[in-house]
Amino acid sequence: MGDPILRVRGLTSTFRTDAGVFPAVDDVSFDVAPGEVLGIVGESGSGKSVTALSILGLLPDPPGRVASGSIRFEGREIVGLPRKALQALRGPSIGMVFQEPMTSLNPVFRVGDQIMETIRAHEAISKADARKRAISLMDRVGIAAPERRLDDFPHQLSGGMRQRVMIAIALACSPRLLLADEPTTALDVTIQAQLLDLLRDIQRDTGMAVVIITHNMGVIAEFADRVLVMYAGRVAEQGAVDTVFTHPRHPYTVGLLRSTPRLDRDEARLTTIPGVLPQLSDTMPGCRFAPRCARRTDVCVLSKPPLLDVGAGQQAACFHWDAQQPGGAS
Ligand code: ADP
Ligand code: MG
């Protein structure tokens, strides 16, 4: 791969709590190539959003902060940039779409004005031109009769339509990287599929790089080129989607895949991963997945598994990555 558009190395982001300071993201590294779609997947609480917020400089500080590591966007270090410089990066360089409850559509402003506002915040163009651009963006994200919808308030739109508006806002400044954190999770499955199709079309048209965050392996299969599997703040596994889906090497990835509903599989055979994610404050010397892992041996409890190259650009943080999968899915 050429120079990555985004290069994250050893990212560690901590939260201060009454019980002490704990890493929500612990030594995470990955690259995103220009035009590539990277999926970040993991259970709720695994540190996906904290990773995204760290990149965007939006971690609530305090109690959160990027404690160590490096984040380079187009070669430029962005950890430690002043707030103003980070603000200037968000929008024209890095666009963002969040899960609906977190989205920032302002309920008291018309959606058209919010799109135009975004364009005009970063470009010196007339109101009339901004309006034309807003209409074409709304059209691009599949909003019918955009000239009329422009004057709607957010509450007049369905959840799916509001998320289309959020995508229009994210695209307004033609970002080179789009960070989408659970962009479809709050929506029903039909709308989810439509929005993922839309995002994929736009990604192909524009060639922008995308980081899509989800707890759903199905979304990864649909959309991503490469996948980063996170567990309890750490990278469990990463690699090309095809490779990881056919040869998952980390037992957590195996579990996630088994618990993903697929059209070609009988849902009754779906299994869930027994146990729960450790608390942030549960410090343990070994693998954070060990308490839930069928492959666990003494070494897993005693030492932290490094990310090992397991071939074909795939890496897994498991001492027993080459163990036969129970059930023969190896
Ligand atoms: P995900 O997006 O993967 O569901 P998050 O990145 O939101 O998970 O959270 C990772 C961890 O960070 C969680 O264990 C959560 O408790 C902790 N965390 C997130 N936000 C805060 C906060 N504002 N204060 C304290 N802890 C937080
Ligand atoms: Mg999240």
Residue 330 is predicted with a pLDDT of 40
Q: Is the Cβ–Cβ distance between 209 and 221 less than 8 Å?
A: no
The Å distance, Cα 23 to ligand 1 centre, comes to 10
Pocket test for ligand 1, best of 66, 212, 280 (most atoms within 8 A of CB): 280
Our measurement of the distance from residue 23's CA atom to the centroid of its chain's CA atoms, rounded to an integer in Å, reads 18
Q: To which residue do tokens 């959840």 refer?
A: 159
Confidence at residue 329, expressed as pLDDT on a 0 to 100 scale: 44
- From ligand 1's centre to the CA of 14, what distance in Å? 10
DSSP 109: S
Shortest CA distance to 230 belongs to which of 100, 72, 38, 36? 38
13 lines ligand 1 (CB under 6 A): no
Q: Whose CA is nearest to atom 6 of ligand 1?
A: 47
Contact of 64 with 15, CB cutoff 8 Å: yes
Burial of 74 (0-12, 13-18, 19+ CB in 10 A): middle
DSSP state of 219: H
Distance between CA atoms of 134 and 147, rounded to whole angstroms? 9
Q: Which of 44, 46, 50 to mutate to test the pocket of ligand 1 (most atoms within 8 A of CB)?
A: 50
pLDDT of residue 260: 84
User: Chain centroid to CA 207: how far?
Assistant: 18
**Nearest ligand 1 atom, CA 17:** 25
54 close to ligand 1 (CB < 6 Angstrom): no
Q: How close is the Cα of 14 to the center of ligand 2, in Å?
A: 15
Separation of CA 48 from chain center: 6
Provide the b/e sequence for 123-157 (b: ≥16 CB within 10 Å): eeeeeeebbebbbebbebbbbeebeebbebebeeb
Closest ligand 1 atom to residue 52 Cα is 6
Q: What is the pLDDT of residue 9?
A: 98
261 Cβ below 6 A of ligand 1: no
Order of strands, sheet of 226-231, starting from the edge strand that comes earlier in the sequence = 94-98, 177-181, 209-214, 37-41, 226-231, 234-240, 314-316, 308-311
Q: In order along the chain (330 residues), what is the average pLDDT of each group of 10 residues?
A: 91 96 98 97 96 95 96 97 93 89 79 94 94 96 96 93 93 95 89 92 96 95 96 98 97 93 61 90 95 96 97 96 63
Question: Half-sphere exposure (CA, 13 Å, Cβ side) for 44?
Answer: 3
Q: Do 107 and 190 touch, CB atoms closer than 8 A?
A: no
